[in-house]
């Protein structure tokens, strides 16, 4: 066991899978000798060679096509999109090609790729680096969308994603890369895709969230605890498909729920979580389903992030409202 | 005396940019071999096979059009006129090479091993048309123009990494050369020296948009320069030239030299697709007639007849055999089972997700009623 940051846990998972399966290939813009703009692939090319870990021309669509074609030849590509705001360049390769190949070829071909990409606010990036675009992916049939919130999950989920035989989008929140350390086992282990985690048990209100908002929800829960409100924090970990069972079990237990996302209200997966609860557990609800999300504007200018991004106090306020409804 | 000032002469730069891309031709419109040096070494049987393939394809086009009109086929993009371009190139390709066709490239797919009945099911919109045998090295026709190009770069790199002596071959049209993925595909393949053959079938029109509206470049082959790879323009109505050029490109790519871009100058006699396109709205009859005089079947027929290898009788045999083959394939396609939503749900992922599993149950209940 070692104390690792999330980015170290990601590098560790990549190294394990490169070692474990000769078909695993890592490529993208500056992921080779440079070790990635965030050092996520640091040392991997040195250890596994340029044949396994390599740089590409600067073209996201080309990277998507490269991954698709390599997968067709039996490789397990793990390409990187430098920032997820650049996904628009490669939307066709992901949602119109990789995501539909198993379906359109009646299961005679499949595309086992994992697209890694950083996103998320709070680190004052320039434009189109931090946008929360997981909702676009979650609306596309045929792909899984994974968003870890801590080092332990990041490693286990990434190993699962690479071993999965269908396309997976693995989104890494930049604010979580180095903000804390956690015990991470040295060996290979998996965290199942499509399974949420109860991060903190509680009995009064369920807060269902993912990504950087998990830490904010825990902070809020600690404050609310002092006021006598017991909050259960559910970390979705995979935002598509949703772990309906865990979500509904928590809501049935507490009877009150607040769905929290960093994405704009009209984006993200919050509305999807809310509709599943409304459809499956309305009789357990003591109050309307609460929601915390960012305003429906374009992602903010760097200096305005703190005004815009949802945080622990927004979550506290909404939980109180729901609790006192 | 003043010395002459050096100037930046953009016109001179343009003419050097638009370097000489003379069209490769082996056989002229009268069926004469005009470039014997480039003539590939072919047996009589091969030559007869080439003509047979073109007649087969022309009849397939005619029958597909009729079957579409009768409502017995769905989506169909006419191929008449492009037989040399399509079949001349695929004839130079090995079975283990990987084919990434566009939506008009169904004849190549069939020659590469896709059963005709499946091609018809694809046209109708039946999933069994895309249920490819494990050893069929191909993807179904690509609808997103350009996507097959970036994917081919990936396949080609995969073949290189596996040390296979094979190529990825892909096709697009003249309009498709304007796409970003067209450029990215050839550029990636070039950067990795990956064995890809990128064919541009320049039939002069992208639906109603003429070739000159796509680009100011005088040839499409010269777009290879932007990727730093060889580009070659070939008479796409000349089977032998298309075959020779593709074979050369294949040898070059398999030897580890990287990809090649081939522009075939060809023409589609019919509309863009049979989904309501009417070329009389935008094309002159005179243009069509001019191209019909260049028909790849006519010149190959003249050449082979002069050599005593072809006759009207022989041609009629091929026509009848093809019609019979088509009739059988349509019958077979008619036997395809009714498609089921539960099957579609099952083919979304290796393991169904919770919500998909629920939907499978719902649809199975409906389907079993």
B228 interfacial to chain A (CB closer than 8 Å): no
For the segment B185-218, what is each residue's pLDDT rounded down to a tens digit?
A: 999 999 999 999 999 999 999 999 999 999 999 9
Q: Is the pLDDT of residue B38 over 80?
A: yes
B16 and B43 together in one domain: yes
pLDDT band at B14 (very low <50, low <70, confident <90, very high): confident
B1 belongs to a structural domain: no
* B98: β partners: B168
Beta carbons of A72 and B344 less than 8 Å apart: no
Residue with tokens 């001019």: B290
B2 belongs to a structural domain: no
Distance from CA of B344 to the nearest CA of A (A): 7
pLDDT band at B73 (very low <50, low <70, confident <90, very high): very high
Q: Within the 186-215 window of chain B, which residues sit less than 8 Å (CB to CB) from chain A?
A: 187-188, 191
Mode of pairing for the β-strands spanning A76-80 and A24-28:
parallel
**Which among B203, B214, B141 is positioned nearest to B173, based on CA atoms?**
B203
B46 belongs to a structural domain: yes
Q: What is the pLDDT of residue A1?
A: 73
Q: A173 an active-site residue?
A: no
B226 and B350 together in one domain: no
**Which among B257, B262, B260 is positioned nearest to B193, based on CA atoms?**
B257
Start-to-end C-alpha separation, chain A: 45
Alpha carbons within 13 A on the beta-carbon side of B120: 26
Q: Give the separation between CA B355 and CA B363, rounded to whole angstroms.
A: 12
Q: Is the pLDDT of residue B20 over 80?
A: no
Cβ contact A224:A132 at 8 Å: no
For the segment B336-363, what is each residue's pLDDT rounded down to a tens digit?
A: 999 999 999 999 999 999 999 999 999 9
Q: Which of B127, B151, B196, B197 to mutate to test the interface with A (most CBs of A within 10 A)?
A: B151
Burial class (CB in 10 A: 0-12, 13-18, 19+), B29: middle
B41 and B127 together in one domain: yes
Report chain A residues whose CB lies below 8 A from the CB of B132. Answer: 105, 108-109
Average pLDDT, chain B: 96
Q: What is the pLDDT of residue B1?
A: 58
B114 and B207 together in one domain: yes
B62 and B186 together in one domain: yes
Query: What phi, psi does A199 have (nearest 5°)?
Result: -75, -35
Q: What is the pLDDT of residue B4?
A: 77
B72: domain CATH number is: 3.40.50.970
For the segment A193-211, what is each residue's pLDDT rounded down to a tens digit?
A: 999 999 999 999 999 999 9
Alpha-carbon torsion A81, A83, A88, A94, what sign? positive
For the segment A284-296, what is each residue's pLDDT rounded down to a tens digit?
A: 999 999 999 999 9
Complete domains list, chain A, with CATH: 2-184 (3.40.50.970), 197-324 (3.40.50.920)
Q: What ipTM score was computed for the predicted complex, to two decimals? A: 0.97
Overall average pLDDT of the B289-315 stretch: 97
Weakly modelled stretches of chain A, pLDDT under 70: none
B255 and B363 together in one domain: no
Give the whole-number percent of chain B exceeding pLDDT 90. 92
Q: Exposure string (b/e) for B155-194, b if CB count within 10 Å is 16 or more?
A: bbbbbbbeeeebbbbbbbbbbbbbbebbbbbbbbbbbbbb
Q: Which of B158, B160, B172 to mutate to test the interface with A (most CBs of A within 10 A)?
A: B158
Beta carbons of A66 and B191 less than 8 Å apart: no
Total number of domains constituting chain B: 2
Domain that holds residue B364: 340-368
Q: What is the pLDDT of residue B124?
A: 98
Assign B14 to helix, strand or coil. Answer: helix
Residues of B labelled as active-site residues? 268, 272, 282
Residues 6+ apart with CB under 8 A from A259: A207, A208, A209, A270, A273, A274, A277, A289, A290, A291, A292
Q: What is the pLDDT of residue B2?
A: 62
**Which among B91, B88, B90 is positioned nearest to B26, based on CA atoms?**
B88
**Which among B148, B154, B125, B134 is positioned nearest to B201, based on CA atoms?**
B148
Alpha-carbon torsion A105, A106, A111, A114, what sign? positive
Q: What is the pLDDT of residue B22?
A: 81
* Distances in whole angstroms, Cα of residue B54 to Cα of each of A229, A279, B79, B90, B103: 78, 59, 11, 12, 19
| pTM of model > 0.90 | yes
B187 and B333 together in one domain: yes
For the segment B122-166, what is each residue's pLDDT rounded down to a tens digit?
A: 999 999 999 999 999 999 999 999 999 999 999 999 999 999 999
For the segment B74-93, what is each residue's pLDDT rounded down to a tens digit?
A: 999 999 999 999 999 999 99
Cβ contact B118:B140 at 8 Å: no
């Amino acid at each position: 066991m070692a104390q690792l940051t999330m980015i170290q846990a990601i590098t560790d998972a990549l190294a394990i899978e490169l070692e474990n399966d000769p078909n695993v290939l890592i490529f993208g813009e500056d992921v080779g000798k440079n070790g990635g703009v965030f050092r996520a692939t640091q040392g991997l090319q040195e250890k596994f060679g340029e044949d396994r870990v390599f740089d590409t021309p600067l073209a996201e669509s080309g990277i998507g096509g490269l991954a698709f074609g390599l997968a067709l030849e039996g490789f397990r590509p793990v390409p990187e999109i430098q920032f997820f705001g650049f996904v628009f360049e490669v939307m066709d390769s992901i949602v119109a090609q990789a995501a539909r190949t198993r379906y359109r070829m009646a299961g005679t071909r499949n595309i086992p790729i994992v697209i890694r990409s950083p996103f998320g606010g709070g680190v004052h990036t320039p434009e189109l680096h931090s946008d929360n675009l997981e909702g676009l992916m979650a609306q596309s049939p045929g792909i899984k969308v994974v968003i870890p919130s801590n080092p332990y999950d990041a490693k286990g989920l990434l190993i699962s994603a690479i071993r999965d035989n269908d396309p997976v989008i693995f989104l890494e929140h930049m604010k979580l890369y180095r903000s804390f350390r956690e015990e991470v086992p040295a060996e290979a282990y998996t965290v199942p895709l499509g399974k949420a985690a109860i991060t903190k048990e509680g009995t009064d209100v369920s807060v269902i969230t993912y990504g950087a908002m998990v830490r904010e929800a825990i902070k809020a829960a600690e404050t609310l605890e002092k006021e006598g409100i017991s909050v259960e924090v559910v970390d979705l970990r995979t935002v598509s498909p949703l772990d309906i069972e865990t979500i509904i079990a928590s809501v049935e237990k507490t009877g009150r729920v607040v769905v929290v996302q960093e994405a704009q209200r009209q984006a993200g997966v919050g509305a999807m979580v809310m509709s599943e609860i409304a459809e499956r557990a309305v009789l357990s609800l003591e109050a309307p389903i609460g929601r915390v999300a960012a305003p429906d504007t374009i992602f903010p200018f760097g200096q305005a992030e703190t005004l815009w991004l949802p945080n622990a106090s927004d979550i506290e306020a909404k939980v109180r409202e729901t609790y006192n409804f | 005396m003043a010395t002459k000032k050096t100037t930046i002469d953009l016109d001179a730069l343009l003419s050097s940019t638009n370097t000489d891309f003379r069209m490769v031709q082996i056989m002229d419109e009268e069926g004469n071999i005009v470039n014997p040096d480039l003539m590939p070494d072919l047996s009589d049987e091969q030559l007869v096979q080439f003509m047979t393939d073109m007649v087969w394809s022309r009849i397939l086009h005619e029958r597909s059009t009729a079957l579409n009109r009768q409502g017995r086929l769905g989506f169909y993009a006419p191929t008449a006129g492009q037989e040399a371009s399509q079949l001349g190139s695929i004839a130079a390709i090995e079975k283990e090479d990987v084919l990434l066709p566009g939506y008009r490239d169904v004849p190549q797919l069939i020659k590469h091993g896709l059963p005709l009945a499946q091609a018809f099911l694809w046209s109708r919109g039946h999933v069994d048309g895309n249920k490819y045998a494990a050893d069929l090295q191909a993807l179904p026709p690509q609808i997103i123009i350009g996507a097959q190009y970036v994917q081919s770069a990936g396949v080609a790199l995969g073949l290189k990494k596996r040390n296979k002596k094979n190529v990825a071959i892909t096709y697009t049209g003249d309009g498709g050369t304007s796409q970003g993925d067209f450029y990215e595909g050839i550029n990636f393949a070039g950067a990795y020296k990956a064995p890809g053959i990128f064919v541009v079938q320049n039939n002069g029109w992208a639906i109603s948009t003429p070739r000159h509206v796509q680009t100011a470049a005088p040839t499409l082959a010269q777009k290879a320069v932007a990727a730093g790879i060889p580009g070659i323009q070939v008479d796409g109505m000349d089977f032998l030239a298309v075959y020779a050029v593709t074979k050369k490109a294949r040898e070059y790519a398999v030897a580890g030299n990287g990809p090649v871009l081939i522009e075939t100058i060809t023409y589609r006699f019919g509309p863009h697709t049979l989904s309501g396109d009417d070329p009389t709205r935008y094309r002159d009859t005179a243009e069509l007639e001019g191209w019909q005089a260049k028909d790849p079947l006519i010149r190959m027929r003249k050449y082979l007849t002069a050599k005593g290898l072809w006759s009207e009788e022989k041609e009629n045999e091929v026509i009848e055999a093809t019609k019979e083959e088509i009739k059988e394939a349509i019958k077979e396609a008619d036997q395809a089972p009714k498609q089921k939503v539960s099957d579609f749900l099952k083919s979304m992922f290796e393991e169904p997700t919770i919500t998909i599993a629920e939907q499978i149950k719902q649809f199975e209940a409906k389907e079993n009623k």
